Amino acid sequence: MFYSTVILYMAHEMKTQKILYIITKSNWGGAQAYVYALATVAKEAGTDVVVALGGTGGKDAAPGELAKRLADAGVRVVIIPSLMRDMSLMSDVRAYRELLRIIKKERPTVVHVNSSKAGGISALAGRVLGVKRIIFTAHGLPHEEPRPFFSRALIWIATYATVLLSTKTIVLSQQQFLATPALFVRRKRLVCIPNGIEPYELFPRATARGKCIEQKLGLAQYSRWVVSTAELNRNKNINVLIDAFVRVAHDTPDVALVLFNEGDQHGALAKQARRAKLEDRIFFMGFVEQVHKLLYSADIFVLSSEKEGFPFALLEAGIAKCPVVATDVGGVSELINTNENGILVTPGNTVALSNALTDLLTHTQRARELGTALSKRVREKFSQQEMIARTFALYSSADI
């Protein structure tokens, strides 16, 4: 793995430190890719690194893909079975006690927490034990999710408490910078560091499609694919994407919808596809390792989310020169400008989403131009090297 001399020098300077990364879920996604990049580069430069993580979301769930990849890279992993996405008083108390034990044992100089759930519990444990550098990366703001008012208020308070307990909070976009709860907190304690990506080699289109067809033979009869790699959960609005595809499918018989990844909404979404009589045109691929290397298979890439921070999936789509239709949420508009390098639509708007898909399927040359423009912007403006360098700088910054 190649990294710039600057990054490796900065990591070399951290050899006297010990970094404990903490993240709630270990299934693979943008937040997990972020932790993996930071942890592996720090380890490569000789820093003592440990990653503590939960399972794939539920109580006592098995460790996911992140745990496997870290172990393969030689990064030490500590599993916390009680660390789970949803709120549960007993599980949260157990997770807090386990984090206290881990921090006492590991004695890190830096605790870098990721995601709101792990963030609050870990930041509190770190403060109780006197850790001087607690970095919180807010990959998304859960109080912006569609929830009952009372739940959103409690989550806002919890996020605010995490910001207070952390010495620095990293946000991924300017939108998130303004939306992060920081009442009476000096704004200099918040820093915007967008996600970045390192260019990589993709499978050629024919190879990528062949690998997918091996799993789902029915894909072979469709010449154009609309692709999403989002986790199948409530925040990703895949139900809206399916409704939009129903409208598209009527006039475009050569198009399939290809959904990579898994999630707790899989069963409900499969039923939705059957009700629409499109189970032979909507393909649930499940979790596929290194799906980002298969993205030349896509004619259009879709992000239909209700909530995002700064989606790593769109950076992967950019590397693959995919024409993109995405919802205007979080920091998405800081990457995509409508009709310049993609199309933005309002979240939850089925008609707007279906119209955008139809537009790009109809105007293929324009679609290719948008994909090329997105690739250029991603490669020029969203460097993983810069993201890592700026993050490492916080670990030893005097401004804490």
**How much of the chain, in percent, has pLDDT values that exceed 90?**
72
What is the rounded CA–CA span in Å between residue 212 and residue 29? 20
Half-sphere CA count of 376, side-chain side, radius 13 A: 9
Least confident of 98-102, 179-183, 341-345: 179-183
Tell me: domain 5-196+383-396, CATH 3.40.50.2000, correct? yes
- Per-residue pLDDT of 356-382, as tens digits, reads 999 999 999 999 999 999 999 999 999
pLDDT at res. 344: 98
pLDDT at res. 115: 78
Is the pLDDT score of 161 beyond 90? Answer: no
Tokens of 68: 């496997």
Under DSSP, is residue 328 helix (H, G, I), strand (E, B) or coil?
coil
The 8-class DSSP code of residue 217 comes to G
300-303 β-sheet, strand order: 282-286, 255-260, 224-228, 300-303, 324-327, 343-345
Is the pLDDT score of 6 beyond 60? Answer: no
- Per-residue pLDDT of 294-340, as tens digits, reads 999 999 999 999 989 899 999 999 999 999 999 999 999 999 999 99
Show me where the domains of the chain are located. Answer: 5-196+383-396, 205-381
Domains 5-196+383-396 and 205-381 share a fold: yes
Burial of residue 2, with CB atoms counted within 10 A of its CB: 0-12 exposed, 13-18 middle, 19 or more buried = exposed
Residue 193 pLDDT grade (very low, low, confident, very high; cuts 50, 70, 90): very high
pLDDT at res. 348: 96
pLDDT at res. 278: 97
Contacts of 207 (CB under 8 A, 6+ apart): none
Residue 200 pLDDT grade (very low, low, confident, very high; cuts 50, 70, 90): very high
Length of the chain: 400
Q: If residue 341 lies in a helix (H) or strand (E), which one and from where to where?
A: none
Under DSSP, is residue 343 helix (H, G, I), strand (E, B) or coil?
strand
CB-CB neighbours of 177 under 10 Å: 18
Burial of residue 315, with CB atoms counted within 10 A of its CB: 0-12 exposed, 13-18 middle, 19 or more buried = buried
Mean of the per-residue pLDDT values for the chain? 91
Fold of 205-381: Rossmann fold (3.40.50)
Is the pLDDT score of 398 beyond 60? Answer: no
